[in-house]
Amino acid sequence: MSHGRISSLGEKKLVSWIIKRARASFPDSELHGLGDDAALLDIGDEYLVLTSDLLLETRHFPDPSRPYEMGWKTVTANMSDLAAMGSKPEAFMLSMALPDLEEDFFSSLIDGVMDACTHYRAPLIGGDTNESDEIILSGMAAGRVRKDRVLLKSGARTGDLVAVTGPLGLGAAGTELILSGEKPAKNHEAAVESSLKPLAPVEDALRIAESGLASSATDISDGLVSELGEIMDSSRVGFRIFKEKIPVPREVFEIASIINRDPMELALYYGEDFELVITAGPDEMKELSGITGLHVIGEVTDSGIEMIDKDGRTYTLDVRGYEHLKGGVQ
């Protein structure tokens, strides 16, 4: 590393540097999952799947006056990583650094955590507490997946199709609407809910993994194009995306107009969607579409990421998305 600031690197380059250090420090160990959405520990016929996510009051919660949703989102962020690996959730741990909160506020936060753990069937089994000037919530989730069913970022092949498990841009639109101070219209409440109380597609992920039909997968927490870039690097492929096939709800366009934002920017780069993007061969994707709801948005190519609009015009998409340490979408 140079003698500059880590902000000049950003989160992804920093993580890559750490991974290289880890591999160099343990050259004789099989370090599974480094660079994927979660770590993998060999436990025989299965992998123990481990992940952690750190959320800060001032960075990750657009409305910190809603503690229940803060607790819920902390669990969901971790469950999304397990889903991306095709893993069945088994347990959750929570470490907290807290200011001197009102007891009712803290109780509501824990209610959110417990309800989310119940929803994902992952019991809270431990954690830690400390003091801080702001709320800092660090989750750790554990799950299990058969070795022959694990979903990885590597494995995509030229000629595969690419699909997402749900609509894109809702979480981003809801977050930006909250931050704008505009009062949400009744028909925009789903976007706000998607931002504050997201859902990880764990059941969809388990069906996809159990089928053995997907060639690669990751979650879309940092933006579609950024995550396609991750698969591109791991699989040494590219992507051709068709703009008209990207499932962007009407509400995203309406909210984007209100807050003066580009709706496709919200859908492609912002993140906060907690859906999955997967690849599979054409026949396999057809079979998968009968197993769970999917939106096919494009195909796997040799290199780069390009988008084609309804008039046949082609645009090269820069690989960027939400990135910590650089202050947002880069």
Q: Got the DSSP string for 44-67?
A: SSEEEEEEEEEEEHHHH-S-TT-H
**Could you identify the residue written with the tokens 């949703």?**
69
* Mean pLDDT computed over 73-94: 97
If one compares 11 and 138, the residue with the highest pLDDT of the two is 138
**Within a 13 Å sphere around the CA of 21, how many CA atoms are in the beta-carbon half?**
7
Q: What is the mean pLDDT of residues 18-35?
A: 68
User: Judging by beta carbons within 10 Å of its beta carbon (0-12, 13-18, 19+), is residue 42 exposed, middle or buried?
Assistant: exposed
| Residues of the binding site for substrate | 60, 272, 322
Q: Which residues are annotated as a binding site for Mg(2+)?
A: 37, 51-53, 81, 128, 219, 222
Residues annotated as binding site for ATP? 127-128, 153, 221
Domain residues of the chain, as ranges? 37-148, 151-323
* Least confident range of 13-17, 177-181, 232-236: 13-17
List residues forming the annotated binding site.
Answer: 37, 51-53, 60, 81, 127-128, 153, 219, 221-222, 272, 322
**pLDDT tens digit string along 254-307?**
999 999 999 999 999 998 889 999 999 999 999 999 999 999 999 999 999 999
- 0.85 surpassed by pTM: yes
Predicted pLDDT of residue 31: 61
Give the integer Cα–Cα distance in Å for 167 and 267: 9
Query: In 3-state terms, the chain is what percent helix, strand and coil (to 5)?
Result: 40, 25, 35
Q: Which fold has domain 37-148?
A: 60s Ribosomal Protein L30; Chain: A; (3.30.1330)
- Is residue 234 exposed (0-12), middle (13-18) or buried (19+ Cβ within 10 Å)? middle
Write down how long the chain is.
330
- Neighbouring C-beta atoms of residue 299, cutoff 10 Å: 18
The answer to whether 117 touches 141, Cβ cutoff 8 Å, is: no
Exposure string of 308-320, with b = 16+ CB inside 10 Å and e = fewer, is beeeeeeeebebb
> 218 pairs with which residues across the strands?
277
Binned at pLDDT 50, 70 and 90, residue 3 comes out as low
Q: Which CATH number fits domain 151-323: 3.40.50.300, 3.90.650.10, 3.30.1490.20, 3.40.50.720?
A: 3.90.650.10
